[in-house]
């Protein structure tokens, strides 16, 4: 996994984007516009558009592409029963430290749905430690494993309550999480609100 700050030379996918309304992003945008000098963690492959937009608001931007990294064979190990399993503890140690930095806002998007389920609780546990008090976390959660709206995409932010989505890989959804499970992942946060998004996708905004 790589963390990138103000890297304007990295490219993204070539697929045409589609527009998606997002109340969660709209509320997060208001938070970002009302504060200066924040440190933002944006999940997904490097997006020059996101970097340029967020830095134009006066913030520092760091990116983490953990979904692609989770597919590497190096994270497989032989379990006690002799079967191959995902080494979630070693993966978390390597990918969820985020270069030792702490953040004021986390744009997690739907990353958790595409990670091996055993690593998801560790992801939220680490993010809780990395997010400053009062900081915001925005996450999406799918309501179905396949079909329209489930393709893995890169979310590009805009100056309105909508995002642009660009397909960036053939990664399948590996886990679905109900609101009660997500609430458990967000235990200890000061506030959390669920919003119904497009294609039966839930959005959640959590305040640390």
| 138 half-sphere exposure, CB direction, 13 A CA radius | 23
Q: What is the token pair recorded at 111?
A: 């990353």
Sequence spans of domains, the chain: 18-207
Model confidence, pTM: 0.90
What is each CA distance from 188 to 99, 129, 191, in whole angstroms? 23, 10, 9
Q: Which 8-state DSSP code applies to residue 159?
A: S
Please give the torsion angle defined by the CA atoms of residues 191, 194, 195 and 197, in that order, rounded to the nearest 10 degrees: 130
Distance of CA 181 to the CA centre of its chain: 17
Give the pLDDT confidence score for residue 2 in this predicted structure.
38
Crossing angle of helices 88-95 and 120-130, in 10° steps, is: 30
Give the pLDDT confidence score for residue 88 in this predicted structure.
95
Coil, strand or helix at 140: strand
The CATH homologous superfamily to which domain 18-207 belongs is: Vaccinia Virus protein VP39 (3.40.50.150)
Of the candidate ranges 4-18, 35-49, 166-180, the one whose mean pLDDT is the lowest: 4-18
Residue 166 scores a pLDDT above 80:
yes
Q: What is the pLDDT of residues 144-160, one digit of tens each?
A: 999 888 999 999 999 99
Please, which pLDDT band fits residue 33 given cuts at 50, 70 and 90? very high
């Amino acid at each position: 996994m790589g963390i990138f700050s103000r890297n304007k030379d990295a490219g993204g996918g070539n697929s045409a984007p589609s527009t998606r309304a997002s109340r969660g992003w709209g509320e997060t945008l208001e938070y970002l516009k009302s504060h200066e000098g924040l440190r933002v963690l944006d999940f997904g492959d490097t997006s020059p558009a996101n970097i340029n937009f967020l830095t134009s608001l006066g913030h520092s931007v760091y990116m983490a592409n953990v979904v692609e990294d989770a597919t590497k064979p190096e994270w497989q190990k032989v379990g006690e029963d002799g079967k191959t399993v995902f080494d979630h503890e070693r993966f978390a140690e390597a990918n969820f430290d985020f270069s030792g930095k702490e953040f004021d806002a986390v744009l997690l998007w739907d990353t958790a749905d595409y990670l091996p389920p055993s690593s998801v609780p560790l992801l939220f546990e680490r993010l809780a430690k990395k997010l400053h008090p009062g900081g915001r976390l925005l996450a999406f959660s799918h309501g179905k494993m396949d079909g329209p709206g489930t393709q893995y995409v890169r979310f590009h932010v805009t100056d309105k309550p909508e995002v642009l989505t660009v397909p960036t890989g053939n990664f399948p959804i590996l886990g679905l999480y109900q609101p009660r499970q997500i609430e458990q992942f967000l235990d200890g946060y000061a506030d959390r609100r669920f919003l119904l998004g497009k294609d039966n996708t839930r959005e959640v905004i959590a305040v640390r």
